[in-house]
Amino acid sequence: MDKLKPKLFSVMKNYSKEQLIKDIVAGIIVAIVALPLSIALAIASGVSPEQGLHTAIIAGFFISFLGGSRVQIGGPTAAFVMIIYGIVKDYGMNGLILATLMAGAIMILMGLLRLGTLIKFIPTTITVGFTAGIAVSIFVQQIKDFTGITLPRDPEDFVDRISLYAQNMEGLKLQTVIIGTIALIILIVWPKITQKIPGPLVAIIVTTVIVAVTDMDVATIGSAGYEVSSKLPTPSLPEGITFDTVKNLISPAFTIALLAAIESLLSCVVSDGMIGSKHRSNMELIGQGVGNMASALFGGIPATGAIARTATNVKNGGRTPIAGMVHSLTLLLIMLVFMPYAKLIPMTTLAAVLMMVAYNMSGWRDFKALLKAPKSDITVLLATFFLTVFFDLVIAIEVGMVLAAMLFMNRMAQETTVREWEYAEDGEDDENDQDAIGLRRVPKKTAVFEINGPMFFGAADKFVDIVRDSKDGTKVIILRMRSVSALDATAFGTLNKIYQECKKMEITLILSHVNEQPMKVMKKNGFDEVIGAENFAPHIDEAIERAKAIAG
């Protein structure tokens, strides 16, 4: 069973000076990568730039210190942008702090209840669908800052945002677009030149210098009205919280917890493959929960494991949680020394950075591949995608999960079949399988029904009329259950009705080859005593012999 022990405490037993140096170098490089992303993601989420750094520093430290992965790097990610933006818009920063605290508590509870492995039950169609939807929403959101247009009001939804863009496109500023385009070109070309220096950092430095030297009319973080502070945050609890606020934030909090759990554990799986290790999923959830609660207390935003930053850590030699902790401390140092200069960064450059983030997270290749999947999977994929874009991420995940479950149950119901054996002449059976159907002779006045697939509520209607479908004069009904792997309460109720109908019509019901789980359900309900132990046959031959004896 997955141990509830931070990975840091396990890897330090054989820690060496050589690995310490590698971890420090990797942590510094990851911090340089995280710096522009944390600022850009914070602004896109509707909060101040330093709150993104506070999140990477506080949450990132605790996620590494208490998490279940050797190399996980925690911090703000693009997956949260739209949901944070909505919470801040509707409930303010107090609401966001409360929702993040609640999400952290939910993740800790999930870890303590050892629910880490349950994340694998989230279908790929849902994760790809809402990830692509978030990417589209983020990309469209950045058009405003990338073009420099001014909107008369804050858009209410995706359609309203597109409408406002179309109505105000005459306000496009050419200089702003030029700087944004330069930033995009750097972001696309620079990784092909070298991977040692992060492209976003180069784009920010180059465009900031250009704007400052040429005195171009381009909005910057400072001129856009964002306050930039290098002060250390102090912990505080949200104020003026009411029961109604808590009730309204339960759904967003669950969504934040679910997103953080999915993304962090997916990052763990990816990094495990890169370093040949194995993470502790439940401890990772606890570390993520503590990190999010700490982030909220210090005025930060939700955080999770960042796949790109984690991969950067691995590629640069990081192999223990020390690298993640160094990453947080490096960001703290950068914030204290250089944060005042962040006000000079052009807003269009940050928009370009987030456009590239949106493109990279869109997973369009996976989306395209899933369009060749069965129709039920395509339905879930498209429903989750369009609900994320046009409505709300919370609604998208809820509807996606319900729709996926219903379509899965329908698919399983279609797999469950009931077939009556036909009368046949004597023939040769499979010598290697005493339970093979072969061409066994069915005795007169006997009906044999073979059930294939799980007997559950979605398929209960398929075997409810077994007695009525039997021929007149039938004295024995055999239910061959060799291929029945599961029996639920609804199907058991149907089975009990079959027995009661048999009893009224003086028909003996015999069950052949009942598997372990269905037998447990029957014994728990006393059905084995009701039907009689003699009417349970280990395989079909014995069931047929008993039918011959009963039918004469």
Could you report the per-residue pLDDT of 477-505, keeping only the tens digit for each? 999 999 899 999 999 999 999 999 999 98
Q: Taking a C-beta distance cutoff of 8 angstroms, is the pair 69, 109 a contact?
A: no
Nearest Cα residue to 73 out of 445, 249, 371, 331: 331
237 in any annotated domain: no
Same domain, 251 and 305: yes
- The strand pair at 417-420 and 446-452 is best described as antiparallel
59 in any annotated domain: yes
382 in any annotated domain: yes
411 in any annotated domain: no
Q: What is the pLDDT of residue 440?
A: 61
Q: What does the radius of gyration of the chain's CA atoms come to, in whole angstroms?
A: 31
pLDDT digits (tens, 9 = 90+) for 398-454: 899 999 989 888 888 888 888 887 654 444 444 454 445 554 677 788 888 888 889
Same domain, 375 and 421: no
Q: Taking a C-beta distance cutoff of 8 angstroms, is the pair 381, 124 a contact?
A: no
Q: Taking a C-beta distance cutoff of 8 angstroms, is the pair 137, 357 a contact?
A: no
Same domain, 180 and 207: yes
Give the sign of the dihedral formed by CA 61, CA 65, CA 69, CA 71: positive
Cα separation of the two ends of the chain:
55
Cα–Cα–Cα angle for 208, 211, 214, nearest 5°? 140
- The strand pair at 304-305 and 446-452 is best described as unpaired
Q: How far is CA 314 from CA 277, 310, 321, in A?
A: 12, 6, 11
Same domain, 116 and 217: yes
pLDDT digits (tens, 9 = 90+) for 287-301: 999 999 999 999 999
Give the DSSP letter of residue 196. S
Question: How large is the average pLDDT for residues 377-404?
Answer: 91
249 is in which domain, residue-wise? 7-12+19-232+243-406
The number of angstroms, rounded, from the C-alpha of 218 to the middle of its chain's C-alpha atoms is 38
Same domain, 470 and 423: yes
Q: 375, 406, 437 — which closes off a domain?
A: 406
338/472 Cα distance (integer angstroms): 90
Give the H/E segment covering residue 284. Answer: helix 281-297
The number of CA neighbours under 13 Å toward the Cβ of 58 is 25
Same domain, 392 and 518: no
Q: What is the pLDDT of residue 166?
A: 93
Average pLDDT, the chain: 90
531 in any annotated domain: yes
Q: What is the pLDDT of residue 467?
A: 79
Q: Taking a C-beta distance cutoff of 8 angstroms, is the pair 426, 439 a contact?
A: yes
Q: Taking a C-beta distance cutoff of 8 angstroms, is the pair 63, 2 a contact?
A: no
Q: What is the pLDDT of residue 422?
A: 64
Q: Taking a C-beta distance cutoff of 8 angstroms, is the pair 72, 268 a contact?
A: yes
Give the H/E segment covering residue 90. Answer: helix 81-112
Question: How large is the average pLDDT for residues 215-235?
Answer: 87
Residue type, 351: A
Q: For residue 1, is pLDDT > 60?
A: no
Give the sign of the dihedral formed by CA 403, CA 409, CA 415, CA 417: negative
- The strand pair at 304-305 and 417-420 is best described as unpaired
321/501 Cα distance (integer angstroms): 65
- The strand pair at 304-305 and 74-75 is best described as antiparallel
338 in any annotated domain: yes
- The strand pair at 508-512 and 476-483 is best described as parallel
Same domain, 345 and 446: no
Q: What is the pLDDT of residue 111?
A: 95
Q: 406, 433, 451 — which closes off a domain?
A: 406
Q: How far is CA 239 from CA 58, 92, 97, 297, in A?
A: 21, 11, 10, 12
Same domain, 427 and 336: no
Question: How large is the average pLDDT for residues 511-536?
Answer: 92
Which pTM does this prediction carry?
0.82
Q: What is the pLDDT of residue 157?
A: 86
2 in any annotated domain: no
Q: Taking a C-beta distance cutoff of 8 angstroms, is the pair 492, 531 a contact?
A: no
Beta-carbon neighbour count of residue 172 at 10 Å? 14
Residue whose tokens read 């037998």: 519
292/104 Cα distance (integer angstroms): 5
Same domain, 397 and 495: no
Q: Which residues pair with 419 in a beta bridge?
A: 450
Give the DSSP letter of residue 117. G
Q: Taking a C-beta distance cutoff of 8 angstroms, is the pair 73, 60 a contact?
A: yes
238 in any annotated domain: no
Cα–Cα–Cα angle for 352, 355, 359, nearest 5°? 140
pLDDT digits (tens, 9 = 90+) for 299-351: 999 999 999 899 999 999 999 999 999 999 999 999 998 888 889 999 999 99
Q: What percent of the chain has pLDDT over 70?
A: 96
Q: What percent of the chain has pLDDT over 90?
A: 64
Nearest Cα residue to 74 out of 355, 391, 366, 308: 308
Residue whose tokens read 């952290």: 104
Residue whose tokens read 């993470």: 279
Same domain, 76 and 224: yes
Same domain, 400 and 508: no
Q: What is the pLDDT of residue 424?
A: 47
Q: What is the pLDDT of residue 429?
A: 46
Q: Which residues pair with 479 in a beta bridge?
A: 449, 511
Question: Number of structural domains, the chain?
Answer: 2
Question: How large is the average pLDDT for residues 187-212?
Answer: 92
Q: Taking a C-beta distance cutoff of 8 angstroms, is the pair 102, 296 a contact?
A: no
Same domain, 148 and 175: yes
Q: Phi and psi dihedrals of 106, rounded to 5?
A: -65, -45
Q: 359, 385, 406 — which closes off a domain?
A: 406
307/269 Cα distance (integer angstroms): 10
455/479 Cα distance (integer angstroms): 12
Q: 66-105: string of b/e by CB count within 10 Å (b at 16+)?
A: bbbbbbbbbbbbbbbbbbbbbbbeebebebbbbbbbbbbb
Q: Which residues pair with 420 in a beta bridge?
A: 449
Q: For residue 545, is pLDDT > 60?
A: yes
Q: What is the pLDDT of residue 465?
A: 79
Q: What is the CATH number of the domain that holds 527?
A: 3.30.750.24
